[in-house]
Amino acid sequence: MLIYLDGEFVPRSEAKISVFDHGLLYGDGVFEGIRSYNGNVFKLDEHLERIFDSAKSIMLQIPITIEEMKENLLETLRRNNLHEGYIRLIVTRGIGDLGLDPEKCPTPSVIIIADKITLYPQNFYEHGLEIVTASIRRNYPEAVNPRIKSLNYLNNILAKIEAKQSGSVEALMLNNDGYVVECTGDNIFYIKNEEIITPPQHIGILEGVTRNCVIELAKEAGFKIHERVFTRHDLYIADECFLTGTAAEVIPVVKLDQRVIGNGKPGIVTQKLIAAFRQYANNSGTPIYT
Ligand code: PMP
């Protein structure tokens, strides 16, 4: 495996960063998780835009242009001969001293790792996930805004620990007002009376690339779709529920906090959207090999 690290392609064993990098010391940095299907990178421009936006928000100057980032990412896939892959793009604040001051970190590091994707077991897509609500709340947007995909993921990791402790793979997270926002690594949707509802971006979510794609696909398929604030009660009494994310794609949820959602099976609208998403993902994207 060859990893892109600050302008060079190095073997995995040599892909190392300093213990003084503020990415490690403080989670000071940003990242993206991106997928390729059939030799095409899915929504590459959207992911690149999001990482540059995240960096701008934390006043991190990415040392290469968006075009260079794109070319380096495609080259990483080529060097690893990957067609179906998962790409992790990371920009850290770089090496500084032991204080917090980012101005003491003159050179941010850019890392691109291209690997194979480990899917959730097929069984979850066929029968749906059973999830629980985490007691830990999603970050308040005026603290670290969830729209920033920062290396500081402890909030979500604490929720993930709660999920695992109750035998689930995902946990639902609420914001400080008790409204549903998202899961630890996925956005959430529910369906009631044939309308699709997902939380609006301003209440404290990561604006998922998969989320935005599914919203578009749902509109194209003629569904009514709304971005609206809602509570767990709405999910308990929903007809259907599903999650979206780069790694998970579109995955049904059939139980939340021991409440069966709908008839306890992946619903018809969810299945239609899964099919529409697969079709779209397999037939779009930026070609790795031109
Ligand atoms: N929310 C959070 C907190 C995430 O980490 C992710 C995964 N990056 C998502 C939602 C889904 O976003 P995307 O569809 O862009 O992968």
Q: Which region holds residue 250: left if phi is over 0, alpha if psi is between -120 and 50, else beta?
A: beta
Name the 3-class secondary structure at 227. Answer: strand
The amino acid present at 68, given as its one-letter code, is: E
Name the 3-class secondary structure at 53. Answer: helix
The verdict on 8 and 129 lying in the same domain is no
Whether 290 is in a domain gets the answer no
The amino acid present at 88, given as its one-letter code, is: R
The protein residue with its alpha carbon nearest to ligand 1, atom 12, reads: 208
CATH number for the domain including 133?
3.20.10.10
Provide the pLDDT for residue 119.
Answer: 76
Substitution candidate for ligand 1 out of 86, 206, 217 with most atoms within 8 A of CB: 206
| Distance, CA of 103 to CA of 60 (rounded, Å) | 10
Residues with CB under 6 A from ligand 1: 33, 156, 182, 185-187, 206, 208-211, 244-246
Pick from 100, 115, 130: which residue ends a domain?
Answer: 115
Provide the pLDDT for residue 37.
Answer: 96
The verdict on 87 and 128 lying in the same domain is no
pLDDT over 90 percentage in the chain: 98
The verdict on 144 and 267 lying in the same domain is yes
Q: Which residues contact 255 (CB under 8 A, 6 or more apart)?
A: 128, 129, 130, 131, 261, 264
Q: Which residues are catalytic?
A: 149
The protein residue with its alpha carbon nearest to ligand 1, atom 3, reads: 185
The verdict on 107 and 126 lying in the same domain is no
Pick from 81, 115, 149: which residue ends a domain?
Answer: 115
List Cβ<8 Å contacts ≥24 apart for 50-55: 50/149, 50/207, 50/209, 51/89, 51/91, 51/149, 54/30, 54/147, 54/148, 54/149, 54/150, 55/30, 55/91
The verdict on 83 and 216 lying in the same domain is no
Start-to-end C-alpha separation, the chain: 22
The verdict on 166 and 77 lying in the same domain is no
The verdict on 20 and 57 lying in the same domain is yes
Each residue of 189-198: pLDDT tens digit?
999 999 999 9
Whether 287 is in a domain gets the answer no
Strand partners, 250: 244
Q: Residue range 55-64: average pLDDT?
A: 98
The verdict on 80 and 144 lying in the same domain is no
The verdict on 101 and 151 lying in the same domain is no
The mean pLDDT of the chain is 97
Q: Residue range 258-269: average pLDDT?
A: 98
Pick from 115, 146, 174: which residue ends a domain?
Answer: 115
Q: Residue 2 is inside which H or E element, if any?
A: strand 2-5
Whether 286 is in a domain gets the answer no
The verdict on 170 and 72 lying in the same domain is no
Each residue of 97-123: pLDDT tens digit?
999 999 999 999 999 999 998 778 899
Each residue of 121-165: pLDDT tens digit?
899 999 999 999 999 999 999 999 999 999 999 999 999 999 999
Substitution candidate for ligand 1 out of 246, 249, 251 with most atoms within 8 A of CB: 246
Of all residues in the chain, what percent are helix, strand and coil, respectively (each to 5)?
A: 30, 30, 40
pLDDT over 70 percentage in the chain: 100
**Among positive and negative, which fits the CA dihedral 268, 274, 280, 282?**
negative
The verdict on 186 and 109 lying in the same domain is no
Domain span holding position 85:
2-115
Instruction: Please give the number of the atom of ligand 1 that sits closest to the Cα of 182.
Output: 1
The verdict on 66 and 126 lying in the same domain is no
**Ligand 1 center to 178 CA (angstroms):** 20
Whether 288 is in a domain gets the answer no
* Domains identified in the chain, total number: 2
Q: Which residues contact 146 (CB under 8 A, 6 or more apart)?
A: 138, 139, 181, 182, 204, 205, 206
Q: Does the pLDDT value for residue 290 go beyond 90?
A: no
Whether 104 is in a domain gets the answer yes
Whether 24 is in a domain gets the answer yes
Q: Residue range 49-70: average pLDDT?
A: 98
Each residue of 209-247: pLDDT tens digit?
999 999 999 999 999 999 999 999 999 999 999 999 999
Q: Are 188 and 199 in contact (CB under 8 A)?
A: yes
Whether 289 is in a domain gets the answer no
Q: Residue range 31-39: average pLDDT?
A: 97
Provide the pLDDT for residue 118.
Answer: 79
Instruction: Please give the number of the atom of ligand 1 that sits closest to the Cα of 156.
Output: 3
Q: Are 87 and 2 in contact (CB under 8 A)?
A: no
